[in-house]
Amino acid sequence: MFLGVIIVAFGSGFILSHVAGSGTFAETAKRIAASERLYRVGLSAVVIVSLGSALLAVALYATLKPVNSLLAQLAMIFSLGDSFLALVVRMCEFVRLHLYLSAQTAGAGTASIQALAELMRTIERVTENIGGIAFGIGSLLFFYLFFKSRYIPRVLSGLGVAASAIWICLYFASLVFPERRGLFQIISFPPMGLADVLTGFYLMLFAVKTGGGGVVLEKSA
């Protein structure tokens, strides 16, 4: 799930950025209208990512519940909160797609449509920032429980704790300094991505199994 969510997220992000490109509102709207179906596929893939993240949160809760039930449940709640807010962001993106398409036939009303599209973008970014904070808290708690349990190497879980702390701080900073959002993402994404990818590979190779005598790691078949 770790790796699947990341792969689909990167793929959908590539599709969306490739279709939208850069430039003025009119130029972006024209490119999106020309590749509407592909753009919808990209948006739908991001919906799958949001739903997959909810399943991942439940799976991590089930895995780490024996370590500390209360903290595992709290981590799941924060992670599910992020998934819910991510779906709100996806809804706003589909609305903004409708506005881009409407701009192609609006004529003199393009200015008002552009203003609505910018409003939706602002709502998306604020919601994404708040969801990012919730995600970071959930990730911090999950990696702390991994660190405490020794299910994965402590160096790896320690990296996850540090990456999550950086993520939380920078997403809070994005609320205060929205103009530096891009810079904060450049700083926060690599350590979190590295921690998640390495954890995903480790859990894919070594299965966490619970038994009467506790929890052990076994080589996956």
Q: What is the pLDDT of residues 93-132, one digit of tens each?
A: 999 999 998 887 766 567 888 899 899 999 999 999 999 9
How far apart, in Å, are the Cα atoms of 76 and each of 37, 53, 99?
34, 10, 35
Residues 6+ apart with CB under 8 A from 150: none
What tokens appear for 72 in the block?
């595992």
pLDDT at 209: 58
Mean of the per-residue pLDDT values of the chain? 89
Span 181-217, pLDDT tens digits:
999 999 999 999 999 999 999 988 886 655 444 444 4
Determine the Cα–Cα distance for residues 202 and 154; give it in Å rounded to an integer. 12
Q: pLDDT digits over 54-74, tens only?
A: 999 999 999 999 999 999 999
Closest CA to 181 of 125, 130, 127, 136: 125
DSSP assignment of 38-52 equals HHHHHHHHHHHHHHH
CB 147 within 8 A of CB 179: no
